[in-house]
């Protein structure tokens, strides 16, 4: 039992003293790759991840999100919905365009069938 205790203690010590394999510059690059934007959805502020590749630009400050990606993040893909962005209805033809930006206010209505 003592031997097992010493092995576990030594393993924990090595783990705690182990330096991470990623350098500081890798962490900075990762932060640049994954930017968060805040949208007000149905009156509630929410944050969504956006990468520069989604914007089509290399400028990390110009991050935008399209409606299709937003619906995937929210688990609403495939549902019958209507979306209003900053007081204007978003047509389905623009769902794939990167039109959502930081600070946009959205109203999302999900159609429910019944009788």
Q: What is the pTM of this model?
A: 0.60
Q: Which domain holds residue 97?
A: 33-110
Give the pLDDT score at 3.
72
Residue 41 inside a domain? The answer is: yes
Residue 23 inside a domain? The answer is: no
Residue 4 inside a domain? The answer is: no
Residue 12 inside a domain? The answer is: no
Residue 22 inside a domain? The answer is: no
What does the block give as tokens for 13? 């010590």
pLDDT tens profile 43-100: 999 998 886 654 455 554 556 789 998 999 889 988 899 999 999 999 999 999 888 8
Between the alpha carbon of residue 42 and those of residues 83, 106, 110, the distances in Å are 10, 6, 12
Residues 9 and 30: their CA atoms lie apart, in Å, by: 33
- Total domains in the chain come to 1
For residue 89, what is the domain's CATH number?
A: 3.10.20.30
Residue 5 inside a domain? The answer is: no
């Amino acid at each position: 039992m003592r031997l097992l205790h010493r092995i576990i203690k030594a393993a924990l010590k090595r783990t705690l003293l182990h330096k991470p394999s990623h350098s500081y510059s890798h962490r900075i690059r990762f932060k640049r790759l994954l930017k968060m934007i805040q949208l007000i959805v149905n009156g509630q502020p929410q944050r969504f991840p956006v990468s520069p590749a989604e914007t089509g630009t290399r400028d990390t400050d110009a991050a935008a999100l399209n409606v299709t990606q937003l619906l995937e993040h929210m688990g609403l893909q495939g549902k019958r919905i209507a979306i209003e962005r900053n007081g204007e209805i978003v047509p389905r033809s623009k769902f794939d365009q990167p039109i959502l930006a930081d600070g946009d206010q959205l109203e999302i209505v999900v159609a429910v069938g019944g009788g």
